[in-house]
Structure 1
């Protein structure tokens, strides 16, 4: 009922006020129609005098209705004023509540904006971390693809194994203790020759492990493919072991044992777990299959042997120097003995000198004790001498 229906002259007219005005207008229209009817009735003929009394009563009723209309109009005016004041109070309360809600909503929006900004900042930071991780993964994927391409080519795979083997040996041994790609008297060229001490034959190391058959093992899709891959791997490795035995085991020039370097610990573990027959065949052919960790351990043992041999060589030099030092000490002892003899003779001479000085001192004291005033001059002229002492 308090809804605004329309605005006239800057005043808002509500539904209630419009309803009251419509009621008044309808009542006024009814009164006008009744009043017109009464006027027509007055001008009727005298035959209608019987109805005059009724008309008079009707006029009284109409007057009563007019008074009621005036009272109702006053009451409606009062009600409109009351409703207007209440409406203004209600509008003021609504505005205050709207202002309070707007302030709270503004604070809430500010907090929400701040939290959203912080969340977006954290999200950007996490996205940056994810982006860096993704770039790292992309780089690693590229490196894995590059490594796969290296391992898929026989020449590049051999260079990869050669590089790992060379890095291990270069880190452990001096440059004079090994030679890469050395040529033997038979014309064969092992990947590395480790020179042993004391003129012992060198140790040959091969870094060309056949991976074609092993890659087929990993790519096998069923049991038949697996069996074929195992047979191919056995043939390749057996031939490679035989080639190392024939080419690199040269009597008097190399050791009677050679190393076959496997550039992967996982391949070495799979080889020992699933291909025990190949390991035994390698042992019978005096070929030791080594992984990077075993090669490092073996090189450390060789390094200890080289250090011991070098210490033995230095021990001979030390013994020679000690012998020379002993001769020098003997000569020094002779010279000190001679010097001691000279010192003894000098001590005896000093003792004789001290005896003579003591005698001279005693004689001078005796001379001081003599009384030369009572002696006759003749005795002096006779040249009497004092008794000589021994």
Structure 2
């Protein structure tokens, strides 16, 4: 045992020392292995404890997720039921609204059609009145021809003076178309004023023909008496024409022409044949000499003018009614266009509602069919392993 095996730094190492050293080294190695094994066992125990806690934590988190999924499923079912009831209520309200709008549109179209027919009927009635007026004008033109035949006759047509003039005017005009013995602004009083249409000044008529001087001409037996009677008639007639021009021709108040009524056709004819110079003087003084037939014709012409003015007023009324009818038709077209646009917008809104309800149904089915995956064992303990649901935005 004391045999020297080798020398270390000049010191001999024996077998015993070598055996003791090897035993100590082996003991130290065994102790180190035991300690290492115990450390590994302790580390494994600590790791098993952390894993157990992590498992408990994951189990708790998983139970919470399952509970949340159950609550979410119940809520989504409730939302699906609510959306289904809301969609049915909305469809019912839309259908009722469309039915009401269709009924109102039908009533409006029927009312408009009735008004249009009434307007057309009134228009036809007015046109019938115009046709009758045209027939009356044609009859008046025939009467004018008859009056021309009457003018060729030189026989007397009635009494003399103002009574004859008043009878002719009263027979031809309405009471509102004339006035007798009216006073003008210069205090003169013409025998008659004929009221003209459209606010024009009235026409003055004088019936004071100098019959005395004209009777002297008829009763003259000698040439001297005839010359004296003619000279006297010219003076009286010229003075009377001048008085009519000065008293009855008032600018802005009466017409610029006045009538001098001659009570006999024979006197009127003889006046035109034998006293042409007096006719010229009266024309220059803007005084028209008329016989009973000419006065009748003139009054008939004035009556036709008054009737034509009334017809023009009626024509303006007809044109105004036609304009109103055209405006009503234009408003009807605009309202039908607006109603059509409202129907188009309502159809578009209904399509959008159906699209939204379809998307809600799809998403409800996706949520009902959703499956949660198991958590990964290598996940970060501090991280949130809850699955995220990506919801697409609704348009």
> Shorter-chain-normalised TM-score: which range?
0.3 to 0.5
Higher relative contact order structure (alpha carbons within 8 Å, sequence separation ≥ 6) = 2
Larger Rg: 1
Q: TM-score if structure 1 supplies the norm length?
A: 0.45
When the two structures are superposed, what TM-score results if normalisation uses the length of structure 2? 0.45
